[in-house]
Structure 1
Amino acid sequence: MKAVVFLGDSKLELREYPDPVPGPDEVVIRMKASGMCGSDLHHLNGPHRTAAELVIEGHEPCGVVEIVGEAVRPTEARVGDRVMVHHYDGCRTCQYCRSGWTQYCPNARIVYGGLDGDGGHADFMKVPAHTLIKLPDSLSFKTGAAISCGTGTAFAAIKRVQLSADDTVAVFGQGPVGLSVTLLAKAFGARVIAVDVEPSRLEMATRFGADHVVDSREQDPVAAIRELTRNGEGADKSIECSAIDAVREQAVQAVRPWGTACMVGVFGRIDLDSEELIQLRKTVVGSLTFSKNQQEDCARFVAERGLDVESLFTNEFRLAEAEKAYDLFDQRKIGKGVFLFD
């Protein structure tokens, strides 16, 4: 099979690997869609990787079960099942693994597609059967790929702040995760203020249902959000998806007293005036991806409401185009890309 590996130093290769063979509790998935994620660029542009450090990339996998291991129960997986992957494994016995939050396993965590386990940028992907989540029949494989990381992450962040229909939420950053927050928050019934510096992304946010958009190159986003909210106090909730230090601070400043700000963008620092937390009684939380149960809940939510998650993808590629795809992605010349397979 063909597969994409990142070598570090902004280089990648398309390599030939033997087709995987499942162990007793594993399955092999024939890939149908594998999304490109912004966090991929941290691996692509990171330090040079030795041969021992190379893994197949892609942590937004979706496809069809091709082979099942001899110990896999029919309730877990059958050949032909349309599936997403919760892209983590762990010891399977700690409290985090048992509750579906496998990414917090302190004993034996594996992250498929970029860190220590082979991912979905390949013709086939081998994973433990327990990581699979059935893809509702009404959802495309591309939608399943989006839910497997970016859209699922957005859903978990919305749950983290306990968003309700009478809330106004400010969404900072309208990349794939932020746009997913905008789309899902509207489906939750909330009033959405979308913030970004790119007119094209703000245009997409409007199409995805944002009630107001704020171009933070043209105006102070905190002041703009306060103008749009009751008594000029600020939004009830904010969700920060840009991973920019200054924007994190704005996301906290933009919520009202007793409001909640959720940090989703990874890496970097957050610097706050203590008044925000003490005198103004604001709450700041973080949210890392999603549990296995939340991934399933997100897929059901999207299917039942007929949400157009597939529109998040602006470009489609074949594996043979991986170098071109990531070059365009790294230069921000495309939005969200996806690799498609026959």
Structure 2
Amino acid sequence: MLGVVFKGHRKLALQSFDDPVPGDDDVVVEMKASGFCGSDLHHYRGAPGASLAAKSPGFLAEHGLSPESPVIAGHEPCGVIAELGRNVDRRAFRPGDRVMVYHYDGCRHCDPCRNGWVQMCERGSTVFGHTAHGGHAPFMRVPARSLIHLPAEIGYRAGAAISCGTGTAFGALERMEISERDTLAVFGLGPVGQSAIQLARAMGARTFAVDVCSDRVERARQLGATQAVNSREADAVEAILQWTAGRGATVAIDCSGVAAARLAAVRCTANWGRIAFVGVGGEVTLNVWSDLMMRQRSIIGHWTFSDVGMARCVRFVADHGIDLDQQFSNRWQLAQAEQAYRQFDSQTAGKACFEF
């Protein structure tokens, strides 16, 4: 089979791999949709093999890898079970089951793993699509414990979105305890920010959306944002203060990872404001006294979600009839990988995925 491999410095290749065969505790999933995530761009743009180079020699040896090993990209996989390993419980999974893949694996014995936060594994986590083969190929082998059933009401594209971007937004909103009492400011309107708008609306909150791309600002309005502004054309903090009669938003989330947006996310909130940083990378400088302490604000650093949280997210989306397909502006075939990632790299459109 062919799979997409990031070669670094905005280059990728379709390389040939053997079709996967399940180990005793594994399944092979036939891909139906494999989403693109903003964090993929760090690997698409960065140095070749950076994910594996960051792993310890012991981790690489344990997994039969080297820093030069080609790894199939894609950490938002969704599809159908094609084959089961001999130890997999047939009461839990059967061929033909519709599934999403929780894109981390770990030792499953340390405290973070046992609490469902496998990406924080004390022995080092595996990340499908970065340090193990991901979903940008027709088939993918994963441990059965990484699977979450996809409800019949949810399509494969939506399942792919929940597997990272939407699940991340949901996890952050849960931690901030969003409710109908809240006004939420969303900075950065890529797929995570768009998900935050849709989810917060279902939770009863009003949202104010901010981005530097006019197309994404307009898309936010279509997805249900109460107000939206291009921060290149207007001061976002001032606009949010005006929207809230001078009080500020009760909650804010930065999905961009950009220092200016993070600072604005803090300063646009009211007394006792809750702020979540979910955008990957970057720095921010705050005046701890005036920006935080005087206003009794709280900042949360949030990284993706637990496996249990992912299951809660897909159930919430199904129960509230949230149409995540609205986020998708591009659907590609694997043979179009170079064009697909060039366009995704512009960060001006909605969500994208490969369909199989």
TM over 0.5: same fold? yes
**Cα deviation digits, residues 303-327 of structure 1 (max 9, x gap):** 1111110111101111011011111
**Structure 1: distance between partners of 2:201 and 2:133:** 35
Q: Is the 8 A contact 1:4 1:122 kept in 2?
A: yes
**Structure 1: distance between partners of 2:26 and 2:146:** 9
**Cα deviation digits, residues 176-210 of structure 1 (max 9, x gap):** 11010000000000011111122211111111111
Give the alignment of 1:195-214 within 5 angstroms. 195-214=210-229
**Structure 2: distance between partners of 1:302 and 1:9:** 36
**Structure 2: distance between partners of 1:9 and 1:52:** 15
Q: Counterpart in 2 of 1:40?
A: 40
**Cα deviation digits, residues 251-279 of structure 1 (max 9, x gap):** 00011111111101010101101121211
**Structure 2: distance between partners of 1:228 and 1:156:** 26
Aligned with 2:121 (options 105, 108, 118): 105
Give the alignment of 1:94-243 within 5 angstroms. 94-114=110-130, 116-230=131-245, 232-243=246-257
Which stretches in structure 2 are left out of the alignment for 5+ residues? 50-65
TM-score using structure 2 length:
0.93
Check if 1:304 corresponds to 2:316. no
SS in 1 for 2:68: helix
Q: Counterpart in 1 of 2:59?
A: none
Check if 1:273 corresponds to 2:248. no
Q: Counterpart in 2 of 1:56?
A: 72
Which stretches in structure 1 are left out of the alignment for 5+ residues? none
CA-based RMSD of the aligned residues comes to 1.2
**Structure 2: distance between partners of 1:41 and 1:279:** 37
Check if 1:74 corresponds to 2:74. no
* Distance change (3 Å), C-alpha of 1:165 and 1:310: same
Q: Counterpart in 2 of 1:5?
A: 5
**Cα deviation digits, residues 283-333 of structure 1 (max 9, x gap):** 111111111111111111111111110111101111011011111111336
Check if 1:329 corresponds to 2:314. no
Please report how far the alpha carbon of residue 54 of structure 1 lies from its aligned counterpart in structure 2 after TM superposition.
Answer: 2.3
Q: Counterpart in 1 of 2:265?
A: 251
- % same residue: 50
Please report how far the alpha carbon of residue 97 of structure 1 lies from its aligned counterpart in structure 2 after TM superposition.
Answer: 1.1
**Structure 2: distance between partners of 1:53 and 1:281:** 48
**Structure 1: distance between partners of 2:135 and 2:6:** 13
SS in 2 for 1:52: coil
More deviation in 15-24 or 50-59? 50-59
TM-score using structure 1 length:
0.97
* Distance change (3 Å), C-alpha of 1:6 and 1:330: same
Q: Counterpart in 2 of 1:25?
A: 25
Please report how far the alpha carbon of residue 29 of structure 1 lies from its aligned counterpart in structure 2 after TM superposition.
Answer: 0.2
Q: Counterpart in 1 of 2:307?
A: 292
SS in 1 for 2:33: strand
Please report how far the alpha carbon of residue 223 of structure 1 lies from its aligned counterpart in structure 2 after TM superposition.
Answer: 0.9
**Structure 1: distance between partners of 2:349 and 2:223:** 18
Q: Is the 8 A contact 1:76 1:130 kept in 2?
A: no
**Cα deviation digits, residues 62-103 of structure 1 (max 9, x gap):** 000000000011233211110000000000111211121111
State how many pairs are aligned: 339
Q: Is the 8 A contact 1:62 1:145 kept in 2?
A: yes
Q: Is the 8 A contact 2:190 2:347 kept in 1?
A: no
Amino acid of the structure 1 residue aligned with 2:75:
H
Amino acid of the structure 2 residue aligned with 1:267:
G
**Structure 2: distance between partners of 1:331 and 1:206:** 21
**Structure 2: distance between partners of 1:281 and 1:217:** 29
**Structure 2: distance between partners of 1:64 and 1:122:** 13
